């Protein structure tokens, strides 16, 4: 019997449906302690004092580690997906400079989560606030506050993609019609139903660290942990229990997760930390976030001549491990399945005083599709053309295959596929009775 076209039940549904699935917060180890992460309540500041004595005096609080102590015990985490000329290539696990609300600055470990939170309320942290900048356009404006004054600006990288810019500009200049728009894609908080969480256990003697993590990328997490915690790779095991959703947000080792592992090592006790929902909105990397000034040039017949986007990508307070990756994908996917004489994008990746951005749901691709297709719709409206016809006219055909665009299909069936789809979903609307 073929499975193709037949309804198929997933093999582990009965485990999930009966409440037997084990997510990270469902695990307990003997002697386990509970942690809460201390987070910055301000967007940009220097920490001038950190005093945990009142917290440590509370019955049940086992340890408090602040930014300096954490930094002493850890190496900076490497950015693994780099872009040409990227000005920051590693990020400290804890820092005395705060660059976004929610940045982890320490950890409180106690015999229960409630006690850890009681202790967190007693830690005195003094901040010397600095002017903050959010939003990519504000961050590249003259006199904008600088996140890293030593860089001389808030631009992390500036890279061109596709055909030479002069050629694109020349084609645009000679076009009968140019549609240009400033488009904005807001940030998104991934918000998987299960927040992030870690249970870490360090075996004294063997020096082996076991980390159970709500992670979608345990191997990469292990690789990063080894460097950050100065452990040989073979002494680290990262176990991924059931995962309550991720959407890309659990693709990284986060600083706070490394801090939980460090606490388990220093205390020689298993330590569990479960992110809470309010933390999640500032602590878990956001998706998207960009401003796109994009233009589509057409000739008098409606043939596409050029497509170009100036991308201002919101990196946030520091590059995540995938860094500018999502914006690079937007630049690369921008052409889509159409033909142009010249096509490209410029990516200016911008640092802002906000949560770092990273992978989220087919990252970069949605933005590319939206920018391109929005311009096509706008062009159709301005030129009085049918948007479906305009697309069909410009789709790469079978005869043109293989076509040198980054995102085009190899099969060459795009026009016929588009026609079939428009029939299937009654589009364009005037054909809806057809």
Partner 1 sequence: MRTIKIVVNGTAHDVEVEDRTLLSDLIRHDLRLTGTHVSCEQGVCGSCTILLDGRPVRSCLMLAVQAEGHEVETVESLSGGEATPESLTSLQRAMSDQHGLQCGFCTPGILMSVTAAQRDGLDAEETIAEVLGGHVCRCTGYRGIRAAIRQVLP
Partner 2 sequence: MKPAPFTYHDPPTVSEVLGLLSEHGGEAAVLAGGQSLIPLMNLRLARPGVVVDVNRVAGLDHVEIGRHVVRIGATARLADLERHEGLAEVLPVLPAAIRHVAHPQIRNRTTLGGSISHADPSAELPAVLLATGGRVRLESVRGSRRVPADDFFLSPFRTSRRPDELLTSVEFPIGGGLRFLMDEVARREGGLPVVSVVLGVRTGAGGLVAEARAAASGVADRPVRLRRLERHLTGADLGDPVVRRAAADMAGHGLEPPDDLRGGGAYRKSLLRALVERLLEGAAA
CA atoms within a 13 Å half-sphere pointing along the CA-CB vector of 86: 21
Range 119-158, binding partner 2 (CB under 8 A): 121
CB 101 within 8 A of CB 134: no
Q: Does 117 bind partner 2 (CB under 8 A)?
A: yes
Cβ 113 to partner 1 shortest distance, Å: 8
Range 26-45, binding partner 1 (CB under 8 A): 26, 28
Question: What one-character DSSP code corresponds to residue 181?
Answer: E
CB 202 within 8 A of CB 376: no
Nearest to 35 by CA among 197, 243, 191: 197
Instruction: List the one residue from 10, 204, 234, 277 that touches partner 2 (CB under 8 A).
Output: 277
Cβ 113 to partner 2 shortest distance, Å: 6
Q: Does 113 bind partner 2 (CB under 8 A)?
A: yes
**How large is the angle between the packed helices 387-394 and 414-424, nearest 10 degrees?**
160
CB 396 within 8 A of CB 405: yes
Range 314-353, binding partner 2 (CB under 8 A): none
Cβ 105 to partner 2 shortest distance, Å: 18
Q: Where are the beta strands (DSSP E) in 299-419?
A: 304-316, 342-351
Whole-angstrom Cα distance, residue 240 to residue 66? 28
Q: Which stretch in 106-114, 248-256, 292-300, 414-422 sits in contact with partner 2 by CB under 8 A?
A: 106-114
Question: What one-character DSSP code corresponds to residue 94?
Answer: S
Stretch 104-143: interaction string toward partner 1, x if CB under 8 A: ----------x-----------------------------
CB 126 within 8 A of CB 48: yes
Residue 317 dihedral angles phi and psi, to the nearest 5°: -70, -25
Q: Which stretch in 112-120, 123-131, 293-301, 329-337 sits in contact with partner 2 by CB under 8 A?
A: 112-120
- Residue whose entry in the numeric block shows the structure tokens 């889509």: 336
Residue 373 partner contact from partner 2, partner 1, none using kind-dependent CB cut-offs of 5 to 8 Å? none
How many Cβ atoms sit within 10 Å of the Cβ of residue 429?
A: 8
Q: Does 281 bind partner 1 (CB under 8 A)?
A: no
Q: Which stretch in 77-85, 88-96, 110-118, 363-371 sits in contact with partner 2 by CB under 8 A?
A: 110-118
The rounded Cα 160 to chain-centroid distance in angstroms is: 21
Whole-angstrom Cα distance, residue 344 to residue 169? 10
CA dihedral 360, 363, 365, 370 (to 10 degrees): 50
Cis ω for the linkage preceding 428 (within 30 of 0): yes
Range 175-234, binding partner 1 (CB under 8 A): 191-195
Instruction: List the one residue from 28, 48, 90, 278 that touches partner 2 (CB under 8 A).
Output: 278
Q: What residues contact 420, with CB distance under 8 A and at least 6 apart? A: none
Q: Does 194 bind partner 2 (CB under 8 A)?
A: no
Q: Does 186 bind partner 2 (CB under 8 A)?
A: no
Instruction: List the one residue from 137, 276, 377, 378 that touches partner 2 (CB under 8 A).
Output: 276
Q: How many residues bind partner 1 (CB under 8 A)?
A: 30
Is 67 or 197 the residue whose CB approaches partner 1 more closely? 197
- Residue whose entry in the numeric block shows the structure tokens 């933005």: 367
**Is residue 1 exposed (0-12), middle (13-18) or buried (19+ Cβ within 10 Å)?**
exposed
Instruction: List the one residue from 1, 2, 6, 7 that touches partner 1 (CB under 8 A).
Output: 7
Within 34-188, where are the H helices? Answer: 53-56, 67-73, 113-120, 136-140, 165-173
Cβ 161 to partner 2 shortest distance, Å: 37
Cβ 277 to partner 2 shortest distance, Å: 7
Stretch 237-266: interaction string toward partner 1, x if CB under 8 A: -----xxxx-x-------------------
Residue 101 partner contact from partner 2, partner 1, none using kind-dependent CB cut-offs of 5 to 8 Å? none
Q: How many residues bind partner 2 (CB under 8 A)?
A: 9
Is 1 or 300 the residue whose CB approaches partner 1 more closely? 1
Give the interface with partner 1 as residue ranges (CB under 8 A): 7, 9-10, 13-23, 25-26, 28, 114, 191-195, 242-245, 247, 276-277
Give the interface with partner 2 as residue ranges (CB under 8 A): 112-114, 117-118, 121, 276-278
């Amino acid at each position: 019997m073929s499975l193709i076209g037949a309804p198929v039940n997933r093999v582990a549904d009965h485990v999930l449906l009966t409440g037997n699935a084990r997510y990270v917060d469902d695990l307990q180890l003997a002697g386990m302690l509970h942690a809460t992460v201390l987070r910055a309540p301000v967007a940009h500041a220097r920490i001038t004092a950190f005093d945990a004595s009142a917290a440590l005096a509370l019955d049940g609080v086992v340890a408090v580690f602040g930014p300096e102590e954490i930094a002493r015990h850890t190496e900076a985490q490497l950015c693994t997906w780099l872009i040409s000329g990227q000005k920051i290539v590693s990020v400290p696990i804890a820092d005395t400079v705060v660059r976004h609300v929610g940045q982890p600055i320490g950890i409180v470990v106690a015999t229960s989560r409630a006690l850890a939170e009681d202790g967190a309320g007693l830690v005195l942290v003094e901040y010397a606030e600095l002017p903050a900048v959010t939003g990519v356009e504000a961050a590249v404006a003259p006199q904008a506050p600088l996140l890293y004054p030593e860089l001389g600006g808030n631009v992390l990288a500036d890279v061109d993609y596709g055909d030479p810019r002069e050629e694109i500009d020349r084609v645009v200049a000679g076009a009968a019609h140019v549609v240009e728009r400033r488009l904005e894609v807001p940030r998104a908080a991934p918000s998987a139903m299960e927040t992030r969480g870690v249970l870490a256990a360090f075996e004294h003697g063997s020096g082996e660290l076991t980390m159970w993590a709500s992670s979608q990328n345990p191997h990469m997490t292990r690789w990063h942990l080894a460097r950050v915690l100065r452990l040989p790779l073979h002494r680290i095991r990262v176990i991924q229990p059931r995962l309550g959703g991720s959407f890309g947000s659990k693709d990284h080792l986060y600083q706070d997760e490394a801090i939980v592992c460090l606490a388990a090592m220093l205390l020689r006790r298993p330590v569990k930390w479960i992110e809470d929902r309010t933390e999640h909105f500032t602590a878990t990397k956001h998706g998207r976030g960009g401003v796109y000034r994009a233009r589509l040039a057409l000739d008098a017949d409606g043939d596409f001549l050029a497509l170009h986007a100036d991308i201002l990508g919101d990196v946030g307070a520091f590059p995540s491990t995938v860094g500018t990756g999502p914006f690079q994908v937007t630049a690369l996917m921008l052409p889509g399945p159409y033909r142009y004489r010249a096509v490209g994008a410029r990516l200016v990746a911008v640092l802002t005083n906000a949560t770092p951005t990273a992978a989220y749901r087919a990252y970069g691709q949605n933005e590319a599709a939206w920018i391109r297709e929005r311009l096509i719709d706008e062009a159709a409206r301005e030129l009085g053309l049918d948007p479906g016809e305009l697309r069909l006219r410009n789709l790469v055909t079978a005869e043109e295959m293989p076509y040198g665009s980054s995102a085009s299909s190899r099969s060459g069936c795009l026009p016929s596929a588009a026609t079939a789809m428009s029939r299937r979903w009654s589009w364009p609307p005037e054909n809806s009775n057809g």
